[in-house]
Amino acid sequence: MLDIHSHILPKMDDGSKSVEMSLEMLKSSYEQGVTTMVSTSHFYAHHESPDEFLRRRRHAAKKLESLLTDSMPKIRFGAEVLYYPGIAQSEEVRQLHIEGTSLILIEMPFVPWSEKIFDELITFQYNSRLQVVLAHVERYRSIQSRAIYDKLFDQPFYFQMNAEAFTSFFDRRLALSLIDGGLLHFLGTDCHNMTSRSPNMDEARKVIDKKLSPAAWYEITDEMESRFNQHIL
């Protein structure tokens, strides 16, 4: 099973605070059936360049390298890139795609959007030849107008939802409707630690088992893994 969104690298961002915490998060994820985990540390273009980010990422990954075992998921490295005006013209940011794939995880800004934001992301997707995956789409709904939020799902992007959306009274209906509409392309835990934002794929599985069926969970996760594999370079 694939977890496409996590913050497991030690001291890269507001995620894991130590090597020990990173290892705990990896072990917990594996126990829940995750076999591939994408590390998507936050990237903010106004704080650092892509080259600086990649240097820090290599340093953090090196700390874990010798400690990884067969009882942990395989890690692919990427980034959670916060959208910024001008992203379509950026050559360097393309380096932050998910390792070995043509996918890039983009976090939308937590402010009201104009329609221009979609146009720029479409241009970025075309110019970069990468497939945009929009992170945790459930989290933007309360900030946007209904018209703009609904228009989000007409865009040529993939949509990622956090596992916790299935346990949220506010978000569960949306999560299940995206499954029904074939618009839930990827799941991620967006895990940051072992307490308040821990690995939680099991929580999503239990809700899907109850609301749909146990078979549905395996169909959904198999489809997501197959979709991911289609973008491996």
| pLDDT bracket for residue 192 (50, 70, 90) | very high
Q: Which residue in the block uniquely carries the two structure tokens 């998060």?
A: 25
Q: What is the pLDDT of residue 212?
A: 93
Say if residues 180 and 212 touch (Cβ distance below 8 Å): no
Residue 203 token pair: 């929580």
CA distances from 22 to 7, 25, 228 (A): 9, 5, 23
| pLDDT bracket for residue 86 (50, 70, 90) | very high
Question: What percentage of the chain has pLDDT greater than the value 90?
Answer: 99
Report how far residue 138's alpha carbon sits from residue 149's, in angstroms, rounded to the nearest whole number: 10
Say if residues 39 and 9 touch (Cβ distance below 8 Å): yes
Q: What is the pLDDT of residue 108?
A: 98
Amino acid at 5: H
Rounded average pLDDT over 151-169: 96
Q: What is the pLDDT of residue 26?
A: 98
Rounded average pLDDT over 4-19: 98
Q: What is the pLDDT of residue 181?
A: 94
Q: In the 8-state DSSP scheme, what is residue 119?
A: H
Q: How does pLDDT run across 25-74, given as a tens digit for each residue?
A: 999 999 999 999 999 999 999 999 999 999 999 999 999 999 999 999 99
Domain count within the chain: 1
Residue 215 token pair: 């078979």
| pLDDT bracket for residue 105 (50, 70, 90) | very high
Report how far residue 159's alpha carbon sits from residue 67's, in angstroms, rounded to the nearest whole number: 32
| pLDDT bracket for residue 111 (50, 70, 90) | very high
| pLDDT bracket for residue 77 (50, 70, 90) | very high
Report how far residue 183's alpha carbon sits from residue 205's, in angstroms, rounded to the nearest whole number: 18
Report how far residue 133's alpha carbon sits from residue 81's, in angstroms, rounded to the nearest whole number: 10
Amino acid at 80: E
- Strand order of the β-sheet with 158-162 is 42-43, 80-82, 103-107, 131-134, 158-162, 186-188
Q: How does pLDDT run across 197-231, given as a tens digit for each residue?
A: 999 999 999 999 999 998 999 999 999 999 999 99
Beta-strand pair 80-82/74-77: unpaired
Counting Cα atoms < 13 Å in the Cβ hemisphere of 68 gives 17
pTM score: 0.97
Q: What is the pLDDT of residue 1?
A: 96
Q: What is the pLDDT of residue 232?
A: 97
Mean pLDDT score of the chain: 96
- Which residue range is the domain that position 145 belongs to? 2-230
Q: What is the CATH number of the domain that holds 112?
A: 3.20.20.140
Q: What is the pLDDT of residue 189?
A: 98
| pLDDT bracket for residue 123 (50, 70, 90) | very high
Long-range pairs for 110-116: beta carbons < 8 A, 24 or more residues apart: 110/139, 110/140, 110/143, 111/143, 112/143, 112/144, 112/145, 112/148, 113/144, 113/148, 115/148, 115/151
Q: What is the pLDDT of residue 233?
A: 95
Report how far residue 233's alpha carbon sits from residue 217's, in angstroms, rounded to the nearest whole number: 27
Q: Locate the DSSP E strands across the chain.
A: 2-6, 36-39, 42-43, 74-77, 80-82, 103-107, 131-134, 158-162, 186-188
